[in-house]
Structure 1
Amino acid sequence: MLEIFGDISSVNDTSIIIRLVLAVISGGIIGLERGKKGQPAGFRTHILVCLGSALVILTNQYVYQEFGVGDPARLGAQVISGIGFLGVGTIIITGKNQVKGLTTAAGLWTTACMGLTIGIGFYRGAIVALILILFVTVVLRRIENLMLSKSKILNIYVEFSEMASINKVLDGIKLNSIHIDNIEILRQYYGNNSKVAAILTLRLDQRRNHEKVVTGISKIEGIDFVEDI
């Protein structure tokens, strides 16, 4: 179908426009999904990553085609390794020892690869990759969340009130037919104030909705804050 645009496998005015516009559209589609999740690398970031990758490999092909020198894949290889630095910037470790941003970092790297695919003119591969990236980030994410919400293993972050006895709180959790497999005590600082906190790995006696379990734990005396991590 793309043949109606003429020769788009070589570098010419038509192929340049098609490849760069397709890179903007594809990167934007992936970026919209990440932006809706409130990720720091969202709509514009993904567009620029995909566009830049496409432009690099397109330039590489142009140099090889016009001057007959160089490796047509060399600059693309540099993009693959270089995008890792941008991806690292999206990964953060919160004060609750949560690692966030891994999916966004992986998405940026994959978007860069998709940009290279578009830039070199492998349109069918790019379109299939776009569909699969959306499938992984949207559909599989919902399936994963559903599976985790019904798992017998639950990790929670808990902050204790100043006067609370941690042992009494833990006993209160166990009374709800919950086993505590692991506990990591933390000291959280909020300005000049500090608070005792913990990350608990819980094992439920049966599959239960995690949201309801966390709500029940939040009502235990001595707990100021709790959330599923």
Structure 2
Amino acid sequence: MPEFSDFLAILNNSDITVPLGLSLLTGAVIGGEREVQGKPAGLRTHMLVCLASTLLMLVATRQSEWVMTQIPGTSIVADLTRMPHGILTGIGFLGAGVIMRNGVSVHGLTTAASLWVTAALGIVYGVGMVSLGVIGSVIALLVLGLLKLLQTFIPVRMKVRVVVRVREGAAFGASDLESLLRNHGLSVREVSWRHFGAHTATELAVSAYTRSTRSHLEALVQALRGVDGVTDFTVRPLDGPAHEG
């Protein structure tokens, strides 16, 4: 049984306490950023991931301290690279749990990536490369925070899916829809047709791109509502909710 002095000896060992402390701090900062963004994996999840990675690597690098009974005449060959492989494989399953698909939109990829890099930083701390871990933490925070801020000033091209159902015999056709989309700042990429014989209607589906704002899409929705012959439609930004009419 370990004695109280054994715990004090571990706490006085900076080779153990520094990596553990930095892993908790790194997980807290990265997880805090995800928490502020309202993501499913936040402060506690990232702290636990980074701490667990560091603990496992500390155990792997200190195999000489393991208490075990060895058969006389045998030798153990240790491969320390197996532990990082196992950690990152496990994080892959955890990351898959925060990725959600809503129709053609996929959410949670950045949070899954932040869990993965948090685990990697915990591994770096665990093998004693503290300076590299701190540098990696700063870079990760810059990617999550600073680049997020820059994206608000950089016009991002957004993919939009527009599906319009037109009553049979209406004058509104594919060319008219393309012109309407271009007038609202959308660049048309492809058009497909689908005919409903029983319902006497034709469905036009268009894939387009835009650098316009959401307000321009709202204007497009209002314009489609006023088109004679259009019975219903869907305007779906592929990174957000759909607008239907």
TM-score by length of 1: 0.72
| Paired residue secondary structure (2:48) | helix
Tell me what 1:25 maps to.
25
Q: Which moved more, 1:16-25 or 1:171-180?
A: 171-180
Deviations 1:132-183 (A, max 9, x none): 000111112232453343xxx4312557689897856555323435431135
Match of 1:218 in 2: 221
On the 8 A contact 1:84/1:109 being kept in 2, the answer is yes
Q: 1:27–1:88: structure 2 CA closer, same or farther, 3 Å change rule?
A: same
**Is the Cα–Cα contact under 8 Å of residues 155 and 202 in structure 1 kept in the other structure?**
yes
Q: Could you say which residue in structure 2 is the equivalent of 1:180?
A: 188
Instruction: Give the whole-Å Cα distance in 2 for the aligned partners of 1:73 and 1:184.
Output: 51
Q: Percent identity?
A: 27
AA partner of residue 219 (structure 1): Q
Which residue, out of 146, 159, 165, partners 1:155?
159
Is the Cα contact below 8 Å between 1:210 and 1:228 reproduced in 2? no
Question: 1:218 offset after TM fit, Å?
Answer: 2.8
2:144 matched to 1:137?
yes
Q: What is the CA–CA distance in structure 2 between the aligned matches of 1:197 and 1:28, rounded to whole Å?
A: 49
Say whether the 8 Å CA contact 1:19–1:118 is kept in structure 2.
yes
Distance 2:87 2:114 in 1: 14
What SS does the corresponding residue of 1:219 show, helix, strand or coil? helix
- CA drift at 1:66: 5.3
Q: Could you say if the C-alpha distance between residues 220 and 112 of structure 1 is closer, same or farther in structure 2, counting changes exceeding 3 Å?
A: same
Amino acid at match of 2:62: Y
Corresponding position of 2:87: 79
Q: Would the aligned equivalents of 2:163 and 2:206 in 1 still touch at CA under 8 Å?
A: no
Question: Which one is further off, 159-168 or 37-46?
Answer: 159-168
Structure 2 unaligned spans of 5+: 1-8, 68-74, 195-202, 226-232, 240-245
Match of 2:243 in 1: none
Alignment map for 1:33-182 (pairs within 5 Å):
33-64=33-64, 70-95=78-103, 97-149=104-156, 153-158=157-162, 171-176=179-184, 178-182=186-190
1:101 Cα deviation after fit: 1.4
Q: Which amino acid aligns with 1:107?
A: S
Cα pair distance change 1:12/1:141, threshold 3 Å:
same
SS in structure 1 opposite 2:118? helix
- Following the alignment from structure 1 to structure 2, what is the Cα–Cα distance between the partners of residues 184 and 217? 19
Q: Secondary structure at the match of 1:179?
A: strand
Distance in 2 between the 1:156 and 1:105 partners? 25
More helix by share: 1
1:90/1:101 contact within 8 Å kept: yes
RMSD: 3.3
Would you say how many aligned residue pairs link Structure 1 and Structure 2?
202
TM-score (normalizing by structure 2): 0.68
Q: 1:60: how far off?
A: 0.9
| 2: CA distance, partners of 1:107 / 1:65 | 32
Structure 1 portions without partners, runs of 5+: 1-10, 187-195
Letter in 2 for 1:217: L
Letter aligned with residue 76 of structure 1 = P
**One-letter identity of the residue aligned with 2:131:** R
Partner Cα distance (1:52, 1:183) in 2: 50
